Structure 1
Amino acid sequence: MFSDQWVEAEKDVIPIEQFSYAVYYAFIKYLYIDTLDLNVEDAIGVLDLANAYCDESLKMKCIRFLRNGITVDNAAHLYSIAIRYHAPELEDFAFNFCIHHMTKITQTEAFSGMEKDIIVAFVVKAGNHGAFKH
């Protein structure tokens, strides 16, 4: 890329703007010292980056981190993220968390902000798991 006829070969600085500074910083730190030190939102960004770079090891570390950071306020969002990034382990964990806190979860901004098709699939899946028995 830098020796061929690419536009980037003529530049001293190549801006990389797909991810935030915090996400790139966490990624570089992970590459050098194998440590992830971030908040949940940055972990979602690093998961996106890991998915883009096909780094399964980093993807699994992000998933474990997100599982540990799940709350009533972010569970629905993490469920959506798990579906987007094909992370069945996180999807199952977030789904079960949501089932156990269904009333509170459905009243969060994260739940109302979910894509409609994901909400429909979630409600059907919850019904199949007996969430609406009573």
Structure 2
Amino acid sequence: MLENEMEESRSGTIKISDVSYDALRAFVDYLYSAEAWLDEQMACELLVLAEKYQVKHLKAYCEKFLVSKLNWDNLIVNYAFAHQHNAKLLLEATLSLILDNMDKLSKCQEYSEFIEKHPALLV
């Protein structure tokens, strides 16, 4: 990228615009230290970066963190996120909770709205 006729080679700068500064900083820090301080938002952002740049151990770390934070309030959102980002561990955990609690979940407004928007993900 920096060795050919692309804009980056002329300016000496690489612009990464699809991620927040904090997430990119945490990503680079992780690459150097193999440590990351996570909250749910940062775990999602880092998982996306880890998938994009194929940093499998970071992706797994973020998935495990998100699995540990699963609850009724974030179950549907995390299921969709896991499906979108091929996060198999998170997908399995959310799917298991969904299947175990389908009777309760099917009565929730959020679940009904989710199914209307994403019928292909119907369990």
Q: Which residue of 2 aligns with 1:115?
A: 118
Q: Where does residue 71 of structure 1 map in the other structure?
A: 71
Cα root mean square deviation, aligned:
2.3
User: Matched residues in 2 for 1:110 and 1:27: separation?
Assistant: 33
One-letter amino acid of the structure 1 residue matched with residue 32 of structure 2: Y
Aligned length: 120
* Deviation for aligned residue 1:62: 1.0
Contact 2:29 2:35 survives alignment (8 Å): yes
Change over 3 Å in CA distance of 1:68–1:106 after alignment to 2:
farther
- In structure 2, do the counterparts of structure 1 residues 98 and 22 end up closer, same or farther at CA, with 3 Å as the change threshold? farther
Deviates more, 1:97-106 or 1:65-74: 97-106
The answer as to whether partners of 1:77 and 1:110 remain within 8 angstroms in 2 is no
> Tell me, which stretches of 5 or more residues in structure 1 are unaligned?
123-134
Query: Normalising by structure 2, what TM-score?
Result: 0.80
Equivalent residue runs for 1:39-58 within 5 Å: 39-58=39-58
State which drifts further: 101-110 or 40-49. 101-110
The one-letter amino acid of 1:107's match is: C
